[in-house]
Structure 1
Amino acid sequence: MKTINEAVNKQKRPIKIIQFGEGVFLRGFFDWMIQNLNNKGVFNGSVVVVKPIEPKGRMAEFGEQDYLYTNLIRDLDGEETQIVDVIDHMVCPYDDFDAFLALAALPEVRFIVSNTTEAGIAFDETNTFDQAPPSTYPAKLTKLLYQRFALKLPGFWILPCELIEHNGKTLKEYVLRYAKLWNLGQEFIDWLEQENKFCSTLVDRIVSGFPADAELPYEDNFRNSAESFHFWAIEGKGLFAELPFDKAGCNVLLTDDITPYRERKVRILNGAHTSMVCLGLLRGMETVEDCMKNEEIFSFVSEFIQNEAIQTLDLPKEECEEFWNAVQKRFLNPYLHHKLSSISLNSVSKYCARVLPTVLDLEKQGVVAKNGLRAWKYLIDWYKQGTPCDDEALIRKIKEGTLEEILSDVSLWGDDYSRFAKEMEA
C-alpha cells in the first residue's frame, strides 16, 4: 500500500504560523481550519510546528510522511475525510535551538498558536535567558519574541488554546515577567505591549484517535478523527482581516470578552455531563449516549439545562438553547463512546465548578434549582452506594456522614450548604 505522501502531492506555501504543540487537538482543530482557509483560496500559508517539550517522540516518523495526515469528521451528520497538508516542517528546540530562534526571522509569520496543555502556561523563575532552551513555554516564547524584536520585525497575533481561564492574559503576564527577570530592557517591553496581540481564547471540539473500523487507501500513521462541531471564541477584534476564518465557514467568534461563552460551555456542556453522570451510574448506564437515550435521565438533564442553567447565563436565551441543541447532537454521537466512568472522576470538585454556580445564582433570584439539587443528591448517593473515583478521605466523609453533615462540610464544597438538606430530602 502507498504511503500518504506517495498518494498526494504536497503543496508548498509560505510559512505564516508558528505552532507550539503537535498533538491531535491542534491538528484536528486549528490546522484543519487553516486547511479550509487554503482550500477556499482566502489564505495562502503553512505552519511550522515547534515541539514544546522533550522527548522528540514521533517527530522523525511524522517527517517521513512529509507532515501530511488525514482528518476524519464523523458523527450523526455523516463522514468527511480530508488530507491536511498545512504543516511545512517541525522544529525541536532541544535538538536545534538555533533553528528554533531562526523562526523569528521568517518575515511572513504573523501568528503564534499553542496548545501545551493546562500545565504548559507556567512561570518558573529558575529559567534563565542563557538556557537553550529554557523549560517553560512562556520562557521559550520570550526568547523567540526577543529575537524578533532584535531583528526589528513586526510582532504577532498570539493565540493560546490551552484550557485555562484568561489564557492570553496569563501568557502575556508571564512573558513580561521573564522580560523583567532577564533585564531585557524597557524598549523590548514597549515592543511587546505595542506590537503583539495576546488574545485570550476558548476552544471547543472533541478530537480523538482514528477509529479502528475506518479504512484508508494509503498508509497514514498520524490520522486524526473529530466531530463536526467546532467553536473558537477569541478576544481579538480585527483578526479576520489577516486570518479570515469568517470566509471559510469556520465557527470562530471575535468578541471583547470570552467569559460569557466560557460560562455557557461550563454550565451547559460540562453541567450536563456532571448532572447526568451519577444518576446514569446509579441506573447502570455506561456511556453518555446511553443516558441520552434513557427517557428518565434525558428528561432530568434537559430540564436542568433549560429551566435552570440557561436561566443564569448572560447571553441571549436563543443562543444558549441553540448551543444546548448542538450539545445534544454531540452527546448522541455513536462514535465517541464517552464513558461515564471517565466523566465521574473527581465528581465533587466538578459539581462545585459546573453545577453549584447555577444552584446559587438561582437561589439569589429566589428560585429553587430542583434538578441541580437532585443532581447533588444523586452524587451523594453514588458516593455512598457505588464505586466513586475520588480522594479516599473525601469518599469516606460522604459514606459515613448524614446528609446535613455532608452538606455542611466546608472542606467538600467550599461553604456550608446544609440549608439545602430539606429540599434535597423532599
Structure 2
Amino acid sequence: MTTQSVWMHIGAGSFHRAHQAWYLHKLRQQGDDSWHIALGNIRQDAATLLSQLEAQQGEYVLETVTPAGERHYEAITSLRHILPWDSELSALVAQGAQAHTRVISFTVTEAGYYLTPEYELDCTQADIQADLHGDTRTIYGALARILQQRMTSGGAPVTLLNCDNLRHNGERFRRGFLTFLAAKGDSALAAWVTANTTAPDTMVDRITPRPTPEVAQRVKAATGRDDRVPVMAESFIQWVVEDNFIAGRPALENVGVQLVDSVLPWEEAKIRILNATHAAIAWAGTLTGHQYIDDSLRQPAIRQLAEEYITQDVIPSLSPSPLDLADYRDVVLARFSNPYIKDTNQRVAADGLSKIPAMVTPTLRAGYQRGVEPVATARLPALFFLFLQRWASGSLPYSYQDGMLQAAALRQQFARPDALSAFLRDRALFAELADDPAFHALMTRTVNALQRELAQVAQTPATA
C-alpha cells in the first residue's frame, strides 16, 4: 500500500476548515484519497478546538448559505490527523519532518508576518525577538523548528504555502523567513530552505464568520449530528494558486482551484476591492452603531462610500485587467449584503494597522501617481483614524484585536492634540505619503467631514 501524501496545515481557524479543507474533501468525494490534511496550531488558543476535532475523528459539518438564504450542510472528511498542541510543538515538528508531508500551508492573518511597510521582516517586534531566543510564537519560529528536524531526518523537499490575505504572500513570506533564519544565524537551514522549498503565491476567498452557538443548533436540526465544532461560511468560494509545488500536489484543478502562472491580477483585485472595502464597511458600521457587515452596508452612506472607493479609485488603478472589475465589485458588494451570514464588524475590523498599508495605501499612492487626488480612498484611513479614536477613548462597543497594536503608546498618541498629524506621519501606515503635505491636507479635510457626518448620524433618531 502506498503511503498517502500529507498536507499539513498550521492555523486551526475557521477559514482553513471552510476553504482549503473543503477543496481536499471534494477530491476525496471524487474518489481521490491520495492526500489528506494534518491540522495543528502554533499557539495554545486552539487547543480545545483541536481536542474536540480529535474526539470527532477530524470530521465536522460545514454550513454554507447563499444570498437567498439557502443553507447546505456537508460533513468534511479531509482532516485525518489532528496534531495536539504542546509548548514544544512536538506533533507539528514530527509530522512536518516526515517525507510524505509534501505541503505545509498556514493561515496566521496579515499581522502574523511582522513585515515593515517595505515588506521586510521587522526583527524588532517582540514576538520575533522571542522566536529568535527559542520561545516559538510565530510562523517563522515554528517553521524553523519543523524544517530543522526535516533537514536532519533526510531533507525531502516541501512546498510552503501561504493562505493569507497578504499581497505576493508566498514571495514575501519566503523573504521574511530567510531574513529570520539569517538573524538566527542558521545559514545551513537557510541554504536548505533555498534549495528544497518553494512558496507559491496564492489568493484565497470565502467569507467565514466566527461560529456562533446557533450554527451547531442548525446543524443538529438539519443533520441530527451533535457537532461541537461546526463551521459556517458563504456559498461563494475561490482559490487561485501559482502552480509552483516542489514535491507534488493534489489534483486541485479537478475541484475548481485555478492553477496559474501569476496570481497578481486576482490578488490585487481581491485585496483592494474585497478586503479593503470589507474593512471600511466594518469601521464605518461600528462608528454608526451597527453590529453586522450586512446591516452596515444597507446604510446608503456606507454603500455609497464603498462604491465610490472602488469605482473612482481602485478600478482605474488596476486597469487594464483580465478580470471584469466592475462585475467583481458588484459580486463583492452582493456577498457583503448577504443577510444570512451575520459576519460581525468586530471580526472584520480587526488588524487595521496591517490592513491600511497592505490594502489601502497602494490605491492612495496610485491615485497620486496618476495625477488624481484619491478623495474616495482617503475616506478609508479617515474612518480607521476615527475608529482608533473611539478605541483610545474606550468607547468601542467591543474589544479590538490587532497583532500590531502597541496599546499604551497608541493611547498616548491619541491623547495629544496633534493625534491626527502623528497618525498621518506614520510611515508604517502610509510610506512616503507620510511626508506629503498634500496628503495631510486631504486627510485633514476628510476626517473633519466624516466627523460632521457621524455627528449627524448620532443626532438622527433610530428607525425600526
Paired-residue identity, %: 20
Aligned residue in 1 for 2:229? 222
Which of 417, 420, 424 lines up with 2:442 in the alignment? 420
Of Structure 1 and Structure 2, which has the larger fraction of its residues in helix?
2
Deviation at 1:82, TM superposition (A): 0.9
Residue number in structure 2 paired with 1:149 = 151
Partner of 1:198: 199
* Partners of 1:134 and 1:370 in 2: CA distance: 43
Measured against aligned partners, the alpha-carbon deviations of 1:56-82 in whole angstroms (never above 9, x if no partner) come to 434333222211111111131522211
- Counterpart CA distance in 2 for 1:300 and 1:180 is 44
Aligned to 2:275: 270
Aligned to 1:4: none
2:139 is equivalent to residue 109 of structure 1: no
Conserved? CA contact 2:93–2:146, under 8 Å: yes
Alignment of 1:304 with 2:319, yes or no, is no
| 1:253–1:117 CA distance, 2 compared to 1 (3 A) | same
Moved more, 240-249 or 409-418: 409-418
Aligned match of 2:19: 29
Shift of 1:112: 1.0
1:8-407 equivalence runs, <5 A: 14-54=4-44, 56-76=47-67, 78-92=70-84, 94=86, 100-103=92-95, 106-118=98-110, 120-121=112-113, 124=128, 136-152=138-154, 154-173=156-175, 176=178, 186=188, 189-208=190-209, 209=211, 212=214, 214-216=218-220, 217-237=224-244, 242-250=249-257, 252-256=258-262, 258=264, 260-273=265-278, 275-276=280-281, 287-313=292-318, 316=321, 318-340=323-345, 354-355=359-360, 357-372=362-377, 389=396, 391-392=410-411
Contact 2:8–2:101 (Cα < 8 Å) also in 1: yes
Any idea what SS the aligned residue of 1:66 has? coil
Q: For the residues of structure 1 that align with 2:90 and 2:280, how far apart are their CA atoms? A: 50
Q: How many residue pairs get matched? A: 406
Larger CA deviation: 330-339 vs 290-299: 290-299
Say which SS state the counterpart of residue 207 (structure 1) adopts.
Answer: coil
How far the C-alpha of 1:420 sits from its partner, in A, is 3.4
Question: Distance in 2 between the 1:150 and 1:80 partners?
Answer: 46
Q: Taking structure 1 as reference, are residues 397 and 293 closer, same or farther at Cα in structure 2, changes over 3 Å only?
A: same
- Higher deviation after alignment, 377-386 or 54-63: 377-386
**TM-score normalised by L of structure 1:** 0.75
**Deviation of residue 32 (structure 1)?**
1.2
Residues 313, 150 of structure 1: CA spacing in aligned structure 2 closer, same or farther, 3 A cutoff?
same
Decide whether aligned partners of structure 1 residues 240 and 73 sit closer, same or farther in structure 2, where only a CA change above 3 A counts. Answer: farther
Once residues 422 and 141 of structure 1 are traced to their aligned partners in structure 2, the CA distance between those partners, rounded to angstroms, is 43
Query: Residue 8 of structure 1 aligns with which residue?
Result: none
- Deviation of 1:179 (Å): 5.8
In structure 1, C-alpha distance between the alignment counterparts of 2:326 and 2:196, rounded to whole Å: 39
Structure 2 length normalisation: TM-score? 0.70
RMSD: 4.4
Encode CA deviations 1:396-417: one digit per residue, 9 max, x unaligned.
668x99xxx8699635962433
Following superposition, the deviation at residue 155 of structure 1 comes to 0.9
**CA distance in structure 1 between the partners assigned to 2:423 and 2:440 by the alignment:** 5
Q: Retained in 2: the 8 A contact 1:200–1:235?
A: yes
Distance in 1 separating the partners of 2:359 and 2:137: 33
Instruction: Check the 8 A contact 2:273/2:310 in 1, yes or no.
Output: yes
Runs of 5+ in structure 1 lacking a partner? 1-11
Q: Which amino acid aligns with 1:201?
A: T
Q: Residue by residue, what CA displacement relative to the aligned partner does 1:21-47 show, whole Å, maximum 9, x if unpaired?
A: 322221111111110121123452212
The 2-side partners of 1:181 and 1:379 are apart by: 34
Higher alpha-carbon deviation: 329-338 or 114-123: 114-123
Amino acid at match of 1:52: I
CA-CA distance at 1:207 after TM superposition: 1.7
CA distance in structure 2 between the partners assigned to 1:117 and 1:422 by the alignment: 30
Distance 1:366 1:100, change over 3 A: closer
Query: Kindly tell me: are residues 59 and 319 of structure 1, through their superposed partners in 2, closer, same or farther at Cα, counting changes over 3 Å?
Result: same
Q: 2:425 aligns with which of 394, 407, 410?
A: 410
Counterparts of 2:53 and 2:239, CA distance in 1:
27
Q: C-alpha distance in 2, partners of 1:377/1:196?
A: 41
Q: Which protein is bigger by CA-based radius of gyration?
A: 1
Rate the CA distance shift 1:158–1:309 in 2: closer, same or farther, 3 A: same
